[in-house]
Amino acid sequence: MRIHNLYVDDQGESHFRDIEVEWASEGPGGKMSKMFPATGIMFRGTPGSYDYDWHPAPRRQYIINLDGAVQVTASDGESRVIGQGEVFLVEDVRGKGHKSKAVEGKFRHSIFVAIE
């Protein structure tokens, strides 16, 4: 299972990489990863007009898109569309940060899972 990850380097530039979640067990209910720690959860509704200029993430957190998509641009120039059902780990809590924008003017429901 792939997770998009946005991280910051020592110079304050944000970059994307992919993280592969490893399966720790398998049973009648399917495959399971290890348990990851979390400190809180928020639910968010983002309007189709969403267009947020450069900003660092407020905390390390997973963002799980339930529907809709978001286009995220790292400060190194790489841009990705994170779609419905995809998971995104944001860790660029300092530096220039990233830009994010609604895709196709569609409303998006997502879940933020804080890990700090």
Terminal Cα distance for the chain, rounded: 23
Provide the whole-model pTM: 0.94
**Given the DSSP bridges, would you call strands 40-46 and 108-114 parallel, antiparallel or unpaired?**
antiparallel
Total of domains in the chain: 1
pLDDT (tens digit, 0 to 9) for every residue of the chain, 116 residues total? 999 999 999 999 999 999 999 999 999 999 999 999 999 999 999 999 999 999 999 999 999 999 999 999 999 999 999 999 999 999 999 999 999 999 999 999 999 999 98
Exposure on the CB side of residue 105, measured as CA atoms within 13 A: 0
Residue 116: the pLDDT is: 82
Closest to 84 measured CA to CA, from 57, 103, 56, 105: 103
DSSP classification of residue 14? E
What pLDDT was estimated at residue 63?
Answer: 98
> What residue numbers bound the domain in which 37 lies?
2-114
CATH number reported for the structural domain that contains residue 102 in this entry = 2.60.120.10
pLDDT of amino acid 109: 98
